[in-house]
Amino acid sequence: MYLATVVGDVVSTHKNERLQGKKLLLVRRLDLDLEPEGVEVIALDVVDAGVGDRVLVVQEGSSARKIFDDPWIPVQAVIVGVLDRVDIRGKRVL
């Protein structure tokens, strides 16, 4: 699980039938200083996040399959929360 920023929408006219009606977003991981790091990842959104939101991402296939109760859904990363606040070692960073 990690913190990320939503940096874009992913639009697909053709996709796996198990993803029909589901929203895909492009996210970029954040370090503990809330600075971007690494590369972007496509994540399935279950919390109605949008571009610019800071979010909590689970990147592990079996978690996604449990969230959707679908053992065959082709998903690895899922946005599971929109961040309201982040405290690190007693100090508020967001």
DSSP state string for 15-64: --GGGTT-EEEEEEEE-TTS-EEEEEEEEEESS---TT-EEEEEE-HHHH
**Do the beta carbons of residue 30 and residue 7 sit within 8 Å?**
no
**Average pLDDT, stretch 40-58?**
96
**Average pLDDT, stretch 9-22?**
91
Return the H-helix or E-strand segment holding 2.
Answer: strand 2-10
Measured CA to CA, the distance from residue 94 to residue 73 in angstroms comes to 33
Residue 65: what pLDDT?
A: 86
Residue 77: what pLDDT?
A: 95
Residue 60: what pLDDT?
A: 86
78 SS3 class: strand
- Domains of the chain, first to last: 2-85 (2.40.50.220)
pLDDT for 73 beyond 80: yes
Residue 35: what pLDDT?
A: 94
Residue 42: what pLDDT?
A: 96
